[in-house]
Structure 1
Amino acid sequence: MTQPAGNTGALQDAEGVPPDRPRGLLPPVLPPLRPVLPLSRGRAVLALPRGRAMLALPRGRAVLALPRGRAMPFEQWAAHHAFVLRTLTVLLLAVPAYALLRGHGPVAAVLHALPLLALVLVARTGWLNRSTRAGAAALGLMTTAALAVQLSGGATEAHFLFFALLPLAALYAARAPFLLAIAFVAVHHFVFGTLYPHAVFDHHAAPLPMAALHAGFVLLESWACLVAWRRFDDRREHVEALVAERTAELSAQRDELAGLAAVVQSTADAVVTATPDGHLTSWNPGAERLYGWRAAEVLGRHASLLSAGEPLPDDLTTLPTGTMERRQRRRDGSVFDGLVTLSTIRGDDGTPTGVAAITRDITGRKRAEVQAHATARMLEQQAGELAHRALHDPLTGLANRALMQDRLEHALADRRARRHAVLLLDLDDFKAVNDGAGHEAGDAVLSAVARRLECSVRPADTVARLGGDEFVVLMEDVEGSCDVVTVAERLLRALREPVVWGDERFTVGGSVGVTLTDAGDRRGMDDLLRDADLAMYVAKSGGKNRVRVFERGMREEVAAQDELVRDLRAAVPSGELRVLYQPQVDLRTGAVTGVEALARWQSGSRGWVEPAGFIPAAEATGVIDAIDDWVIGQACAQLRSWDAAGLPELRMAVNVSPRRLATGSLAGSLAAAARSAGVDPGRLEIEVPEAVASGPDAAAGIREVRALGVHVAIDDFGTGSSSLSRLQDLPLDRLKIDPSSVALLAADAATGSLADAVIALGNSLGLEVVAEGVEQPAQLAALRALGCDAAQGHLFGSPVPPDAVERLVRTGRPLVAVA
């Protein structure tokens, strides 16, 4: 509220606003205003600021100040003013009546009432401000008393009318009306009482004593009014302060309750209250949405209709307060999980008067928690699987390189262990399995090999797959190399057992390189694997299916092997290779019908090198491709030379590397060589290992070669693993019995042998059967008895130069006696 400016004028409105302006219910708190009425130097003046009596003697002077009072609300001021006006109206009628009673004529009676009438009219004028109207009313009251004194002839009793009417001037709670009333009395008694004493005092009394007496009464009356005014003002101030404070509290509580009500009405949670015996007393919109009942349908009903769990007690206030999960029921009968927050409502004396419950549907949250737990378990399982995959080979389940390195580093860091061993195993002829039966069969062989390796080592040993067909075994705390070699040989024996895959059986071998750690060994995993690989390389080059323990001298062996490869690469362009030819004899006629071209190396520094001394190195390094092309070219050229010399047409058999069939380049090489030499490709024959022949890649290469008219023979049949159904689908011409099977033949014990089975199979497939490695007459007799078609071996002739073949063929004599 706006605070009105202070004003010391006697007739100015206390609030400084027009009298018709609306007021607030509570008056503004006004600062104290200290009007000072100086009487004279040294006279005491009483100061009463804001209704509070205060005695001040500044520098020997006391100042008299009336309380400024408070600007009342317009409605209250108007009510007080109306009461004063009604009083003045009664007095206005009483004055002429009293004049007539005192013996005055009608005109005099009216003239006496005219001053009072003028003041009443001013007090009733609405456009005047409140101070002016209040001052006019106060003067009217005192004028009435003065008229009564005059009409009474100065009777003392008439003076009491001043005392009766003066408090009415205090009803305005303002200085101006009250000061005007006191000033009027002072002027009336002292001025008029002195100048016209007969109009103020009884004519028989002395003027001065009477004036002093009446002045004393007036001052006493004024003091009583001031005291009453002060007490009233203090009380009103206290009451107003209490009302303001309480109003502020109630307003804050109202705002708080309004905010809480808004929250309760807008929240999605159900907020309900109930009596201690369980009857519902309030129901918010959230409860309507959650439970499906409208407020009018549930208020007054028992809360048990909402519960789907354990029954509620008779007294709900006995339930534990706080948050709990309870099963709840909707209007349609469906049940949900609710999170209920329960609190007890208490009265002013602390007695429970009811309960309040806030319910939230947590069905989705619990479902999400279940899903989260399931997801967490799944992620944990996946993490375990990922960790397992990160440390294990996905195909075999063995440890991988990372896990092997970790365990090896841990073993090397353990100073208590004496020695450790690292065994590197590489499968022999595994590529033939992949090429012959496909990668699915190769995976099956690798898995079977992994299981056998695990079963062949100690429980504390670690078996890992490094990749491809390479495996490594870590043996911790071993006694010596003998124990390690024993384990390695056990591994090789386990590998030699055939692996059954469907209708096929695969036999693979392996070569093992071993390296042992010594006390203070500073080699890491890579160094140990390199040394084990070096030992394995030496074992493989020495004939496969062997175990070699790393020795420092092996580095010289490997260096020598590398030098061998370098020399071999230079052997083709330098003309150091030779081709020898071994005759193939028809066992029915004894005549030479063909030859097999065999490569030999006549090294300038090494001398004569047999195939076993350089073919494995050529296969491992890829030099075999150049050797095969050179041998095919030499063989075709030799056929052309023999034709020119007048020899009968011979068939030329050539051994080719299995990799040539997989690459698809063999057919092109054969066609180019035959075209260059001018010979019929039908006189050529390639020999393919059994394990490779039935592979999908080799099969395509065989069909390409056969499409040229070149014959195809399966070499060393009976030593590998092949699918008979696949062999039947291939365009083959010959089966060659392995020398090891021929060596077991005897003249009187051929039936039931492997050679017998191969010959029978060849006859059933319509294939010609050729026996290799025939060295004894008894073997020849057995082969003839079994019905073998052709043979080759030292019994008929060793590999010889081309001119020796020419002399052999020109003699025209059979190499063996015809049966």
Structure 2
Amino acid sequence: MREPEVAPDLVDAARRLAAAVAEAGAADRESMAVEFAREVLASRGGEARFATFYEKCPSGVVLVDPKGMIGAANPAFLKLARIGDEDELLGTRAEELGATARDRSALAAALEAGDRVLDRLAIRSRPDASRLVRLTATTLPGERSRYPILMFEDTHELRRLQETIQHQSLHDPLTGLPNSAHFRSRLEGMLADRDQGRIGLVFLDIDGFKVVNDGLGTEVADKVLRGVAGTLRAVFAPAKGFVARLFGDGFAVALRGELEPSAVVKLVEQTIGELAKPVYAQGVGVGVSASAGIVVAEVPGAEHGELIRSAEVSLHRAKELGKAQWVVFDPQSGRGDRDRYRLAAAIAGALELGQITVVYQPHVVLPDAQIVTSLNAALLWNHPTRGRLRAEEFYALAETTGMTVPLGKHLLRRALETKASWQSRFGDGAPMVCLTLPRRMAIDADLVAMVRAELDRAGLEPKHLMLCADAESLIDDRGDLIDSLGHLARLGVLFVLNITGLPELELIPAHEIPAPAVMLRGPIVDVLAADDAPAWARRNVRQLVERAEEMGVKVGAYGVVSQTQAELLYGLGVVVASGSYQPEYQTSSEAEVWMGRTFPMG
């Protein structure tokens, strides 16, 4: 429709109103336009002013004659419907703008009523598509008949934006998995379905993931997280599991049906096995391990908050057992917790009564294991009713009673006393004593002072001591082991880092750790114990050894269970081994069989 010539002041007024309409919200636009249209047509020069408004209005406007035929459509509507020429619409029935029969019926009713608002109407949009709009139908006065006017507000993009925002609020942007809020909502929905059956809940944490982030950087860490998400989807999809990312390296899965705990455990074990396979990023194969807490409960009967607490407790227990472990929640676990706390409370008395002693295990040079690099000192609790308990079975309990540092000091003192005795009797034939610092002692601010005091007390030089610590202790926010290691290295104490994979190895150059050697532990070693050790596991170790060689770092391995496994590791470049295929838990007198067979690892 061509704009007629009108007085400039009227045109300017109409254009200012059009600009105001453009800035108004969707809810106000139609009412402003309708009232303005009625006003201008009833006033002098109204037709000219309406023509200006009609052309500039950002909403789609279609004028209809009394018979329901389209008489005009403004540029905004042509753009909305993706129509190139207004002539294509002229003379067609207005209700034919509807995309479906239902939409056409709604349009016809709106034209008949004269005043109606439809919040959700689909109109035809080329090519062969539809567009969601908000329709305001009204009438303009005429001399003999009323003239319908249809105003269309595009809500398609708005709804798409709303859907996008809603999706983002319920999903993790990195992995695309549902987030914690979405997971809890879905879990409540599963529990609300009162059909008979069971609900399964799995909480899963990546072991030592901070090491991957610090050692290899956020880009590689993000790729690993996306890989974990993909693995969980693939493993649990056949069981229709709902997978979510709860927080940084924490994931969850909810399942519903006739579930057996053994079936859920099988899926978890499959997941842990798949995660150990390396994800390649920047030419580096990164394998991770995961710990999992599992709950299987009857529905009805299960309660949302209790299920989550049970899964969290099970996950915590799994992590206490070490890496790549899973625990199924036991309804009688309260009784088990009381037993554990009773054991924790007895540690102080056991230490005073001499029930906790120091035992030794050799680190031997591969392949023939006839030379020892050091004797690893560890604590053993000779419990009066439970038998022999290894340190890893009660160190975690000692955390709850504040006994970790006293245990570590006892280990350090007794090991150095033994080393001093061997040194005086066997001279250079006495092997190096190595001890792994419990986490709480490793991060203690007084670690350097403790070590110096015990060396002085035993009359030993710092070079006679080798300390080991796990990679997690290096980056524990509660202390600064890295700074302590710098001081100890300057004194002459040797340091060995216990690692589970390549990311932890990269902490050495990243933080300038004075470590001449590392000891592999966990799944990276365990998977090679099988007769048919997978090729990817061999490549993983070989790649790590090659990187260590570039750094000038020697590689050993804990947990070696057979001579065959030892020979395999040696073939991959591992030079030192320790494990059950050699004597374990020897007293200081029993360990003297190794005197004179020394070869310093550092």
Assess same fold via TM > 0.5: yes
Partner of 2:467: 686
Asked which structure has the greater RCO (Cα within 8 Å, sep 6+), the reply is 2
Alpha-carbon offset, residue 770 of structure 1: 5.5
Partner of 2:124: none
List gaps (5 residues or longer) in structure 1: 1-277, 292-322, 326-337, 346-354, 746-751
In 1, are the aligned partners of 2:196 and 2:299 still within 8 Å (CA)?
no
* Structure 1, 504-513 or 726-735: larger mean CA deviation: 726-735
2:494 to 697, 700, 711: 711
Alpha-carbon offset, residue 525 of structure 1: 1.0
In 2, are the aligned partners of 1:741 and 1:754 still within 8 Å (CA)?
no
Alpha-carbon offset, residue 441 of structure 1: 4.6
CA distance in structure 2 between the aligned counterparts of 1:583 and 1:382, rounded to whole angstroms:
64
* Structure 1, 413-422 or 771-780: larger mean CA deviation: 771-780
In 2, are the aligned partners of 1:504 and 1:721 still within 8 Å (CA)?
no
Partner of 1:215: none
Alignment of 1:68-87 (within 5 A): none
Alignment of 1:577-656 (within 5 A): 577-583=356-362, 594-615=374-395, 617=397, 624-643=404-423, 647-648=427-428, 650-656=431-437
* Structure 1, 536-545 or 575-584: larger mean CA deviation: 536-545
Secondary structure, counterpart of 1:424 in structure 2: strand
CA distance in structure 1 between the aligned counterparts of 2:168 and 2:570, rounded to whole angstroms:
59
2:587 to 801, 806, 814: 801
Write the letter of the residue equivalent to 2:279: V
Matching of residue 412 in structure 1 with residue 198 in structure 2? no
Partner of 2:131: none
Partner of 1:209: none
In 2, are the aligned partners of 1:420 and 1:475 still within 8 Å (CA)?
yes
Alpha-carbon offset, residue 456 of structure 1: 2.2
Q: Deviations over 1:102-151 (max 9, x none)?
A: xxxxxxxxxxxxxxxxxxxxxxxxxxxxxxxxxxxxxxxxxxxxxxxxxx
1:512 to 287, 292, 316: 292
Q: Deviations over 1:221-248 (max 9, x none)?
A: xxxxxxxxxxxxxxxxxxxxxxxxxxxx
| Shift in CA distance, 634/366, structure 1 to aligned 2, threshold 3 Å | farther
Write the letter of the residue equivalent to 2:183: M
When the two structures are aligned, how many residues end up with a matched partner? Answer: 473
Alpha-carbon offset, residue 631 of structure 1: 2.0
Partner of 2:455: 674
Alpha-carbon offset, residue 680 of structure 1: 1.9
Over the residues paired in the alignment, what is the CA RMSD in angstroms? 5.4
Q: Deviations over 1:659-699 (max 9, x none)?
A: 76667764454344334444322222122457887999876
Partner of 1:452: 231
Partner of 1:332: none
CA distance in structure 2 between the aligned counterparts of 1:516 and 1:782, rounded to whole angstroms:
40
Alignment of 1:489-508 (within 5 A): 489-508=269-288
Partner of 1:212: none
Identity %: 25
Structure holding more strand per residue: 2
| Shift in CA distance, 633/417, structure 1 to aligned 2, threshold 3 Å | same
CA distance in structure 1 between the aligned counterparts of 2:235 and 2:571, rounded to whole angstroms:
45
Alignment of 1:96-175 (within 5 A): none
Q: Deviations over 1:340-360 (max 9, x none)?
A: 935698xxxxxxxxx776748
Alpha-carbon offset, residue 609 of structure 1: 0.9
Write the letter of the residue equivalent to 1:498: P
In 2, are the aligned partners of 1:694 and 1:722 still within 8 Å (CA)?
no
1:734 to 509, 517, 520: 517
Partner of 2:312: 533
Partner of 2:209: 430
| Shift in CA distance, 570/458, structure 1 to aligned 2, threshold 3 Å | farther
Matching of residue 470 in structure 1 with residue 250 in structure 2? yes
Alpha-carbon offset, residue 615 of structure 1: 4.3
CA distance in structure 1 between the aligned counterparts of 2:571 and 2:183, rounded to whole angstroms:
58
Write the letter of the residue equivalent to 1:461: G
| Shift in CA distance, 339/584, structure 1 to aligned 2, threshold 3 Å | same
In 2, are the aligned partners of 1:435 and 1:662 still within 8 Å (CA)?
no
CA distance in structure 2 between the aligned counterparts of 1:368 and 1:569, rounded to whole angstroms:
80
In 2, are the aligned partners of 1:590 and 1:815 still within 8 Å (CA)?
no
| Shift in CA distance, 644/375, structure 1 to aligned 2, threshold 3 Å | farther
| Shift in CA distance, 734/362, structure 1 to aligned 2, threshold 3 Å | same
Secondary structure, counterpart of 1:517 in structure 2: strand
CA distance in structure 2 between the aligned counterparts of 1:741 and 1:487, rounded to whole angstroms:
18
Write the letter of the residue equivalent to 2:251: F
Partner of 2:117: none
Secondary structure, counterpart of 1:633 in structure 2: helix
Q: TM-score scaled to structure 1, two decimals? A: 0.46
Alpha-carbon offset, residue 438 of structure 1: 5.5
Write the letter of the residue equivalent to 2:464: R
In 1, are the aligned partners of 2:196 and 2:300 still within 8 Å (CA)?
no
CA distance in structure 2 between the aligned counterparts of 1:468 and 1:641, rounded to whole angstroms:
49
CA distance in structure 2 between the aligned counterparts of 1:432 and 1:617, rounded to whole angstroms:
24
CA distance in structure 1 between the aligned counterparts of 2:527 and 2:298, rounded to whole angstroms:
46
Alpha-carbon offset, residue 527 of structure 1: 0.7
CA distance in structure 2 between the aligned counterparts of 1:615 and 1:759, rounded to whole angstroms:
30
Q: Deviations over 1:337-394 (max 9, x none)?
A: x99935698xxxxxxxxx7767487699957999xx9999888667555544543345
In 1, are the aligned partners of 2:195 and 2:300 still within 8 Å (CA)?
no
In 2, are the aligned partners of 1:667 and 1:705 still within 8 Å (CA)?
yes
Alpha-carbon offset, residue 474 of structure 1: 1.5
| Shift in CA distance, 473/788, structure 1 to aligned 2, threshold 3 Å | closer
Write the letter of the residue equivalent to 1:800: Q
Write the letter of the residue equivalent to 2:434: A
In 1, are the aligned partners of 2:356 and 2:379 still within 8 Å (CA)?
yes
Secondary structure, counterpart of 2:183 in structure 1: helix
Alpha-carbon offset, residue 554 of structure 1: 3.5
CA distance in structure 2 between the aligned counterparts of 1:714 and 1:653, rounded to whole angstroms:
12
In 1, are the aligned partners of 2:373 and 2:598 still within 8 Å (CA)?
no
Q: Deviations over 1:58-104 (max 9, x none)?
A: xxxxxxxxxxxxxxxxxxxxxxxxxxxxxxxxxxxxxxxxxxxxxxx
Partner of 1:391: 170
Partner of 1:461: 241
Alpha-carbon offset, residue 597 of structure 1: 1.3
Secondary structure, counterpart of 1:341 in structure 2: helix
| Shift in CA distance, 376/624, structure 1 to aligned 2, threshold 3 Å | farther
In 1, are the aligned partners of 2:203 and 2:292 still within 8 Å (CA)?
yes
CA distance in structure 2 between the aligned counterparts of 1:586 and 1:546, rounded to whole angstroms:
30
CA distance in structure 2 between the aligned counterparts of 1:393 and 1:754, rounded to whole angstroms:
30
In 1, are the aligned partners of 2:280 and 2:286 still within 8 Å (CA)?
yes
In 2, are the aligned partners of 1:534 and 1:555 still within 8 Å (CA)?
no
In 2, are the aligned partners of 1:774 and 1:792 still within 8 Å (CA)?
yes
In 2, are the aligned partners of 1:734 and 1:767 still within 8 Å (CA)?
yes
| Shift in CA distance, 366/794, structure 1 to aligned 2, threshold 3 Å | closer
Secondary structure, counterpart of 1:802 in structure 2: coil
Secondary structure, counterpart of 2:212 in structure 1: helix
| Shift in CA distance, 366/710, structure 1 to aligned 2, threshold 3 Å | farther
| Shift in CA distance, 764/540, structure 1 to aligned 2, threshold 3 Å | closer
CA distance in structure 2 between the aligned counterparts of 1:545 and 1:709, rounded to whole angstroms:
35
Q: TM-score scaled to structure 2, two decimals? A: 0.60
Write the letter of the residue equivalent to 2:247: G
In 2, are the aligned partners of 1:409 and 1:525 still within 8 Å (CA)?
yes
